[in-house]
Each structure stands twice: as structure tokens, then as C-alpha cells.
Structure 1
Amino acid sequence: MIASLLPWVFASAFVLPSLGKLYHNPSKLVNTTYDYIIVGAGAAGAVVAARLSEDPRISVLLVEAGISNEGIVPATIPLLSLSLTPNTILDWNFTTTPQPGLNNRAISYPRGRVLGGSTSVNYMVYMRGSAEDFDRYASVTGDSGWNWKNMQQYAKKNEKLVAPADSHNMTGEYIPSLHSTSGAISVSLSGNPTPLDSRVIATTQEFSSEFPFNPDLVGGNILGIGWAFASIDNGTRSSSATGYLSPAYGRPNLDIVINAQATKLEETGNFGTIPSFRRVLVAENAGARHEIILSSGAFGTPALLQLSGIGDSTELRAVGVAPVVHNPSVGKNMSDHALLPNVWNVNNPDTYDSIFRNPDLFNASMAQWINNRTGAFASNIANQIGWMRLPESASIFRTVPDPAAGPNSSHFEMIFGNFWLNPTTPAPPAGNFMSITIALISPTSRGSVQISSSNPFIKPLVDPKFLSTNFDIFTLVESVKISKRFLTAKAWKGYVRSGVGELETVKTDAEIEAYVRKVTNTIWHPVGTAMMSAKGASYGVVDPDLKVKGVDGLRVIDGSVLPFVPNAHTQGPIYLIAERGADLIKKDFQAAICLTC
């Protein structure tokens, strides 16, 4: 029903912010040489462009393959995020290779192809991760600058806590001292109550040992169930395009070009004994005096490196690419949060299903949003989320080491949705539903991204290898049992009718495993394909300063550098990576200037 209503939404006359300095075609660029060229305007690239261009001495070109976010109304209205992907003009429309762990299904893998990247099309859940995530990044890279304590300065630059759309009293729903009110990305708690709210919180009180209440999920202590934060301000999406790029439009030292897919990085000579890359092909050559920064994400960044001759030499030759730098780590180590949607029938018509199904209710909700930016459309997909661990006595730990970042980090996430929340399966034409969607947070499966051709317009092979390890399947099987146990609390009596489909009938581990393999897909949080490692390490793609190993003039700043997927929906941690990455570049720029002054 959402899709059938979208033409009306797109055609409506809304007053949206207008863009500043922007080129719609790379042939229109006046300049061809900049201090820095950034490829990709998503969660990371937009941050780096905005922060570097704060210094008027630095000239920046930001290259985006997709279109502008201006005027795309569903990308502004939070609940309509469900309509933005997959298979739209805003999506790269990746598809995985057939996955043996998912009964050989190939699944859609949305990534944003628009200013703001995936922050313009995602579900807007905002977290920073667990403190142990960043402490582990610091440990494996040998760089204490990546630890949780140091990264909080960037959290303050990133977050701007604002009132929820309904302006309700937030007492007891968060801890004020853990938040910033002066950052670039607006963040708020739920702005629309649902019938699940009181029931979820009551369950944390009745079953406090297994499902404890967490008073604030953003402060590094993520275990338990609490109120979800989202990148929403006054009932509208806050993205890297609105939060970082909008204030930067019109700066004379920042050029932004859209509809411009980078196809290759050109070797421009040597810096000592290593090759130097200072040109990027974006329909016309563009050169960088200092660096090219790849911010094309966990798929685009390794693919562009491989197309440019940086990767496993044998694999590159096999697809007709001449190797320049042999680095077999490029495109490897991919990890992601596998997604298991569990849906139940409920005895309540006040679910979002009714709005999506009934044009009258949809139009009424739209009118409310237009008038005052409140109501269902001002809300995120979930008002509460939970971050859970398997019991220490779980049998899997007899043979498998705990893969979590630490004892205060999670194995899986619970997302409580007031509707049919299954991104890959349309809701039935009748009924009202609730969802406890599970995300596998500490996966041990590792996949890859690999080009299959020297043609840059042929999508790379994306193989996450979902559910290819005993730990991953064990955790999801247990999560189904735990979700069912959650709904045995008194608060759900008379509300939940039955599980949908096989969820209601599966009992044994074998039956649950068959169900899990049949319905699991992805929550779209890929990382690790250009992972950072210690300087001098024999593996990894970038050093702790995010410079590509064995190469001059090339840096990677995006989610692909994270060695492990974090305890968070990834936009928050990637924002922090980008903020520190921009500081590292500024430091090097200042050092270079001082050498000549």
C-alpha cells in the first residue's frame, strides 16, 4: 500500500530547504584540481567535506554518484523510510550472491545512492556503539585515539539532542549528561506513542533479570532494553546531507557534484618507492594536491580500490585489471548484522498497518504531518530496542570463544515494531501486527566484496556468507526462544494472538533453525571490507590514520575500515569515524603547510 501511495507523495507541493552550491554534471566543474577529493557523500563523506571546508585554505571536491536529496518527500518523512528501498532510484540496488546459509537465497542489499547516502534512506536509529567496541578498535590498531573515551569528543560534535515531535516529558527515558545539544545531527526520542510502549517497559520490570531496563542506550553501556533514539528533528529526517552539507553549501572552497560515479583512481607517479594516487576518474579527470578520500562505503570503496589495481593480484588479473599494489585484504573481512523478522498477530487496530493499508488513514496522517510535523509519520520504526547477551552457560561457549567486543557488549538486538516489520516480505492485506525483529550483533561469519569485471558499471559480487558459522545460527535460534519468552509477560496477555506462519508452530531447535534460514536477511550494516589494522601489520587495508597501506595520497574514511561490526546501527559510529578522520587530515594539512612556511 505504501508504494501505491508514493506518486501522490512525490507530486505534493512541499516547501523543502533549497540547495546551495551544487553541480549536477562533472563537466560543469570550473576547477579540476583541489586539495582534497572525497568520493561518496554518505555518512562519512559529507562529514569530511563539511569539516575540511571549514578551513578556507582547503579546497574540497565532493563527488556523489547519486542524485540530490532535495525535494524527495519520503526521505524527509520518517515513517516513509520503509518506501525508500529497495529497487528505487535512491538505491544502488545491490544483490548478494546465493547464500548457502539462507537456503541459497540471493537477497536485496540496499545502499543509499543520493546525497546523504544511506543516512538519507535508512531507518534512522541512532547509537554510538558500546564502549568496548571502540576500545577493541584501539587495541587491534595500536592507536589509543580510537578508544571510547577519546571518541566522545566527536560524539559531542555529532549529536544535537532535540525535543521529540510530540514534546512529551522525557524524564526517565534518557540520561541528559550522556548527550550533546550542539552537534550537527539532530537526535530525538520517539515522537509518537504506540500500544507497545507501556507493555515493553512493563516486561522489563516483570522480567528484570533477563530483560533489564537500560535508562540510556547511547552512553556506551548498551545492554538491556530502553527507549530508542533516532536522527529526527521536528518530525523530519536528519541526515548527513541536512546536518553537515546544508550548512556548508555556498562555501567558495567546496564544490559538490552529483550524478558523477567515480570509475577509477589513477596512479600519478611515485612517492619514494610506493605508488601515488592523486587523480580520480569522474567522467573527467579531477586531481588532488594532497589526498583522495574514499567514502564510498563497504561495497563501493573496495570495488573502487580493486578497479584501480589495489587488491589481490591474482583476483585482479582474473577480471582484466592490471595490479598496482598487491593487498589481498581488500574486499575481505566483510561482516554485517543479519536480520531475523519475527511477526505476531495482535488484538489492536492501532498499529501502523492500518495506516499503510487504508488511504483515508494514510491521508489523515499525512495531513497531520504537513500541518504540524507530528503523528505517526513523525515516528521511527521502533520506540524501544534492546541489546541482549546469550547466557554465560550457553552450550555454544563450550566450543566457540565469545565473539562480542567484551562482557558488556551484546550478541543480538531486539527491535520492537508496532506493525509488520519485514523489509523483504509485504504485509498481508488484512490484520494488525507487532514485530520483534532480531539483529545478529556479534557475527562470526565473514564475507567479501569482489569485482567481477574491469567495467566499473558492473556491480561487484557481494557475498556476506550469512549464517555460515555455528555461533551465528545458534544465536538466532536462541533469539527466537527468547523473543517468545518475552511475550509471556503479563503485559501481553490478551494482546498477542499468535505468531505469523511458522513462527507459531516451530518448537525444536531443528524446526527453529529451518525457520531462521528461511526468513533471515540483512539490516544493511556492512563493514570491514577495507579494515584498519596496526601500522606495519601484514593484513588490513588502512593504517590507524586511515591511509591506504602501501600507497601515497589515498585515505579511506567510511564504515569499511571498521574491523568488527559495532553494537549499534552503524550511522552513529560511522559519523564518529568520519569526525576523527577529518581531524587527522586537518592535522596532516597543517603539518604540510608548516613545512613550506
Structure 2
Amino acid sequence: MPSMRNTYLSFLLAVFALFPLGVFGRVITSLSQLQTQYDFVIIGGGTAGSAVANRLSENADVSVLVVEAGDNNVGNTNLEIPFLGVTLPGTSVDWNFTTTAQSGLNGRSIPYTRGFVLGGSSSVNLLTYHRGSDDLWNRWAQLSGDQGWSWNSVEKYYRKSSRLVPPADGRDVTGLVNPSAHGNGPVEVSVPGFPLPIDDIVLNSAKQLGGRFNFNQDFNGGNIIGIGYMQSAIGEGERSSGATAYLNPVFDRSNLDVLINTRVTKLVNSATSGTPHMNIVELAQSSGGPRVRVTAGKEIVLSAGVIGTPQILQLSGIGNANDLNALGIPVILNNADVGANLADHPLLANYFQVQSTGTWDDVLRDSNLFGQTIGQWQADKTGLFVDSPGNTVGFFKLPAGSPALSGIQDPSSGPKSAHTELIFVDAFAPFGSVPQPATGNFVTVLSAVVSPTSRGTVKLASTDPFAKPLINPNFLGTNFDIKAMVQAIHDALDFMAAPLWQQDFKPVPFGDLASATTDDLKATFAREQSVNVNHPVGTARMSANGGVVDANLLLKGVSGLRIVDASIFPVIPECHVQGAVYIVAERAADLIKTAHNLS
């Protein structure tokens, strides 16, 4: 999700002073410590790379190298405290990307957060955990031409990747989650461990209203539609990331090397003729520093993420030939889909002023109170900071006859998949450019379009592997996306007018939301204030026809290279995406083991 950096900056400086980053565990920091060859070289120690590294290194006869551009996650308490996820964008654990000017956002460029640390974006996100609807996976199977991606086939990988654990406060959550919908994997998932005053209002309103606002007991049960408790990658009040769940626990494996603070400058083709064989990785720790090459005896696993994966491919001569030629990069494989099809969820903060004084607005205004709340977490892992800022969430289909769907095929994956999302926050959550008011109490309803039809690109700006690429998500670039966002604003207003809200909170639209009295004004409001949820996918998409990788995640047109991260998603999930990344990684590990006859 986008940064709250304006509000939290002063607090964040103090937090980093209290909890400095430290490096522990068996990691490599110097290129001189490398072997010249490993069986597998995994590029990226993020959400997917951490999981693949764990599963491949289970076999003691297999050597694995993980190359991570960022630092170690271990010892950085800022990554551990769930609530502090909102403070991490713009810091040393963020790539600090910025989009190109977005025409759908009235020409604005916005920050684009990606994790620059072991665990990747699972170390810096706001933790929401969804596996995706049954429809989504069945659609993937159809698009890939492989029933191995259907829900019936991938369910075992979902259950292998995560498990339900009690919330931080240990309370009975019977009826608020379905334990049978969960598995026994290493990623810990829980419902909120610090109930907020608005939680019961949201959930009971859903039960009273029904219809489009129906209650959903468990979003990981296969049907994403409805309103319910947020499920997040949190266990015992701490973040559960790809690094903490998969990678840190196996640092002591003698067949696993984890190299940090190192970039992949390019992949090298070792074939002298015929099909390119990409089995050599070139590494560097600074733009002008020495280059070191490492060979993958079995294959390279490219898990550099939705931005990093297409960037590395293009630097290696794999991509749109016209773009590569313009930069003087020799073309090894002409594939215009590399870096194309970028999809993400636009997000808008809708503010309501309320009469209740029980919101946590003052925690953001008072540095002493903020520090006390951190102290409470440090003492016994309790309090507000055991959760991300929002405890409740809803996913919705557009109403029948919605103008957003006029003349187009429904972009959602099916009846169990959503078009839009609302997240309910018990305070003024400064997402975007609007600062928190100095006084007053607020509720924020974040609205998002989760089945967007807009598609963008990731392209090289330079041949320097240390230069940031050009990121154009094309937010709100289609008629569907802007009309769906307008409907989401209507849904926020309608839901906040429910009887239970009016008893005590009596919410009143605030700021630009209050002025957006027509659909045209709501569209203008969305274009002027929307940011993003940081759920990019699709820049190396899997497809039966065209695309970048085949159903086994092998790069088409070359040998020796497999891609395993959210860049391979054929379409964007209509939910938060980290859970789907773990499923992909778990299945990919089995595909790799099968391909190389590994147990």
C-alpha cells in the first residue's frame, strides 16, 4: 500500500533510532565469498524467492544461491511490528520507485513501493493475506492451458504455504474465521489481535444489510465476495513474511548461500548457436564496481519481482527488440510481452468525520502516545500495533446494469470474484497527499478497483542496471476502471449511512469526498486523489499463446531459465496478492524438483 510518510516521518526517525537494523544469520556480503557454480541460482530473496530457496535446499545434495539486492531483514524491528508497515515506504527497505506521469491521475506521478530487503514486499506490505477465489485459479488454468493451475490442483500448495494461528490477544474468534479453510504451512495468518470500536459496526452492519454488503466469514474459503475480518500474515503480534517463514529458519543449511546487497546486472547466454541457454548470472555491488559471474548448473530461477524481473530480462537482451535496439542492447530474444501487461489496483481514501472519540487518531498526532504504543508492543506484543491499520474489509460485485460493464466482457474471474474493495480504518489514514487534520475524529474507507482493465509497462530507462526503470501502471486508464471506482465511492457512502453507524459515530463525508456530489465530481475526486495498493503483476505473464513463460514457468524461447514471482500472473487477482505468490512458489518448487529428478 502507499506511504503515510508525511504523517509518520518524525515518528519513523525515532523508531529507527530505537531499533537499528542489524544483520544476523548466515549470509554472504562479499562477492569474493561466492562459489563459481551452484545447482540453482535464485535471483531475488523476496516473497517467492524465499519459498523456492527453502524448498530446493531441503535436498542436501543440491546447492542453492539466493541473490538479494537489499539487506537482511533479521534484526530490523521496524519490519516486525505490523502497524509500522505504513512507515516503511520511502526508507532503506524500499526500492523507492516512482511511476511515470499517469494520465488517469491527472498527470501525477506517485511513489511505487517494492520491498528492498530479504522477504521482498512481504517484508514491507500491509500484510493482508488472501489465496484468491476458486474462479481465479480456474481462469489461470484456462489461460495457461494447464489444469495444474486449477484450484483443485493448487489447493495443496495453498495449504502447504500457510496456517491459521490465534490472534495476538488470544480471544475466541469462532464465527469470524473458518479453520477448515486453512492449511499447515510456515506463513502465519490470523485475524486482528486488537479489536477496534468500528469492527462490530462493520461486521454487524454487513449481517443486517445483506445483499451486496453480505457478511463473509472467511475470505480464504474460495469466495471473496462480502464483508468480514481482515486476515493478515501475522503471528503472535509479529509480521510473518517470506523471509521469516521460509528463509531465516534455514540459514544454517550448508548447501544454501544467501548473498545480500548485490544486483544482477544481466543474464549471460552460454550457447554459441541455436536456442539461447541462459545459465550464467553476472553480479555487482555498485554501478561502477567489479562484475562477477556465477553459473547455474541446473537452472536460474528469476524471482526479482514484477519490476525487477522484466528489467533484468531486458538488460540481458530479452524483450521488445525495438526498445532494446534503441538502447544499444544486443537482442537475444525478441518478445514484446516482456515488461508489458502490468496491472495494479488503484486505491482512494474516502474520509468521514465522526462523533466518536474512540478512534486512534491521537496516536498519529502525539509522538509520546506513538512511542508508548511501540513500547507496549515491545513489552508483550499487545496493543494497536499488533495489526495493520485496517481490521475489516469488503469485496463487491458491481450492481447489475452498471455502466462500468457496458460494452465489455466482465473482467472479474467469475461469480466468486470481486470488482471493487473497501477497507475500513478507525482513524484518518493519510494515504496520498491529504494531511491529517490537527483535531477531530475520523473513519477512513479505502476504496479500490480489484479487477482493473488498465494495463501498463515496465521499460528500461538506461543500460545501467543500477538505474530505476520506467514504471507506467496506467492507473484509471480505462472507462471501466474510473466508473468502477465511482461505484466504490457510492458503496462507501451507502455503507456508512447504515443504521448502526448512525447510533454513535454519525459519520459525515469530509474534505473532497463531501464536495463530490455527482458522478462526474466523484470521477474527478478519484483522478486527483487516488494512489495505489502496490499489487503489481503480469510483466512476464504465463500464457498458452504468446506471453513470456509457459505453464511450467519456463521462459519461452530459451533454456535454463524459469520465472517465479507475481510477474507471471496471467491476470491480476481480485484480492491482495501475496498469498497467490506463495502458491505459485510452492508449485514452482515441485515443478523444478520434477524436472531435475529431485526428491
Q: Same fold (TM over 0.5)?
A: yes
In structure 2, how many angstroms separate the alpha carbons of the residues matched to 1:546 and 1:403? 24
SS at structure 1 position matched to 2:194: coil
Query: Alpha-carbon deviation of 1:17?
Result: 10
Query: Alpha-carbon deviation of 1:92?
Result: 0.7
The answer to whether the 8 Å contact 1:368/1:374 transfers is yes
Partner residue, 1:8:
14
Partner residue, 1:340:
348
In structure 2, how many angstroms separate the alpha carbons of the residues matched to 1:95 and 1:54? 38
1:577 to 571, 580, 584: 584
SS at structure 2 position matched to 1:590: coil
- Once the two structures are overlaid, the 10-residue window that deviates more, 364-373 or 255-264, is 364-373
Query: Alpha-carbon deviation of 1:41?
Result: 0.8
In structure 2, how many angstroms separate the alpha carbons of the residues matched to 1:367 and 1:456? 41
Q: How does 1:174-253 map to 2 (within 5 A)?
A: 174-180=177-183, 182-253=184-255
Partner residue, 2:41:
37
Q: Give the count of matched residue pairs.
A: 584
Q: Are 2:51 and 1:47 equivalent residues in the alignment?
A: yes
- Once the two structures are overlaid, the 10-residue window that deviates more, 19-28 or 72-81, is 19-28
In structure 1, how many angstroms separate the alpha carbons of the residues matched to 2:175 and 2:593? 40
* AA matched with 1:25: S
SS at structure 2 position matched to 1:577: helix
In structure 2, how many angstroms separate the alpha carbons of the residues matched to 1:521 and 1:316? 30
Q: How does 1:349-388 map to 2 (within 5 A)?
A: 349-388=357-396
Partner residue, 1:265:
267
Partner residue, 2:61:
57
Change (3 A) 1:456 1:496: farther
Partner residue, 1:481:
490
The answer to whether the 8 Å contact 2:397/2:417 transfers is yes
Q: Are 2:338 and 1:325 equivalent residues in the alignment?
A: no
Query: Alpha-carbon deviation of 1:121?
Result: 0.5
Partner residue, 1:281:
282
Query: Alpha-carbon deviation of 1:392?
Result: 2.1
SS at structure 2 position matched to 1:262: strand
1:119 to 112, 115, 122: 122
SS at structure 2 position matched to 1:341: strand
* AA matched with 1:576: I
Query: Alpha-carbon deviation of 1:348?
Result: 2.5
SS at structure 1 position matched to 2:163: strand
- Once the two structures are overlaid, the 10-residue window that deviates more, 475-484 or 3-12, is 3-12
Partner residue, 1:153:
156
The answer to whether the 8 Å contact 2:54/2:247 transfers is yes
SS at structure 2 position matched to 1:287: strand
The answer to whether the 8 Å contact 2:45/2:303 transfers is yes
1:556 to 559, 563, 566: 563
SS at structure 1 position matched to 2:443: strand
Q: Are 2:306 and 1:298 equivalent residues in the alignment?
A: yes
SS at structure 2 position matched to 1:263: strand
SS at structure 1 position matched to 2:62: coil
- Once the two structures are overlaid, the 10-residue window that deviates more, 63-72 or 19-28, is 19-28
Query: Alpha-carbon deviation of 1:370?
Result: 1.5
* AA matched with 2:566: G
Query: Alpha-carbon deviation of 1:9?
Result: 2.2
Q: Deviations over 1:8-27 (max 9, x none)?
A: 3223369x997322012223
Partner residue, 2:86:
82
In structure 1, how many angstroms separate the alpha carbons of the residues matched to 2:559 and 2:342? 25
Q: Deviations over 1:330-370 (max 9, x none)?
A: 01111111111111112223223211211232232122212
* AA matched with 1:237: R
In structure 1, how many angstroms separate the alpha carbons of the residues matched to 2:506 and 2:116? 39
Partner residue, 2:289:
none
Q: How does 1:398-477 map to 2 (within 5 A)?
A: 398-425=406-433, 426-477=435-486
Partner residue, 1:514:
524
Change (3 A) 1:395 1:568: closer
- Once the two structures are overlaid, the 10-residue window that deviates more, 500-509 or 424-433, is 424-433
Partner residue, 2:169:
166
The answer to whether the 8 Å contact 2:23/2:72 transfers is no
Partner residue, 1:93:
96
Q: TM-score, normalised by structure 1?
A: 0.95
SS at structure 2 position matched to 1:507: coil
1:544 to 551, 562, 571: 551
Query: Alpha-carbon deviation of 1:314?
Result: 1.1
Query: Alpha-carbon deviation of 1:5?
Result: 2.2
In structure 2, how many angstroms separate the alpha carbons of the residues matched to 1:229 and 1:18? 30
The answer to whether the 8 Å contact 2:25/2:74 transfers is no
* AA matched with 2:282: L
In structure 2, how many angstroms separate the alpha carbons of the residues matched to 1:18 and 1:579? 27
SS at structure 2 position matched to 1:35: strand
The answer to whether the 8 Å contact 2:549/2:568 transfers is yes
Alignment RMSD (CA, Å): 1.6
In structure 2, how many angstroms separate the alpha carbons of the residues matched to 1:457 and 1:355? 38
- Once the two structures are overlaid, the 10-residue window that deviates more, 61-70 or 397-406, is 397-406
The answer to whether the 8 Å contact 1:26/1:258 transfers is no
Query: Alpha-carbon deviation of 1:498?
Result: 2.2
Partner residue, 2:29:
24
Query: Alpha-carbon deviation of 1:150?
Result: 1.1
Q: TM-score, normalised by structure 2?
A: 0.95
Q: Are 2:493 and 1:492 equivalent residues in the alignment?
A: no
* AA matched with 1:193: P
The answer to whether the 8 Å contact 2:23/2:73 transfers is no
In structure 2, how many angstroms separate the alpha carbons of the residues matched to 1:10 and 1:395? 48
The answer to whether the 8 Å contact 1:24/1:258 transfers is yes
In structure 1, how many angstroms separate the alpha carbons of the residues matched to 2:399 and 2:64? 50
SS at structure 2 position matched to 1:74: helix
The answer to whether the 8 Å contact 1:19/1:246 transfers is no
SS at structure 1 position matched to 2:464: coil
Unmatched 5+ stretches in structure 1: none
Query: Alpha-carbon deviation of 1:325?
Result: 0.5
SS at structure 1 position matched to 2:590: helix
In structure 2, how many angstroms separate the alpha carbons of the residues matched to 1:289 and 1:214? 48
In structure 2, how many angstroms separate the alpha carbons of the residues matched to 1:314 and 1:213? 51
The answer to whether the 8 Å contact 2:39/2:63 transfers is yes
The answer to whether the 8 Å contact 1:206/1:489 transfers is no
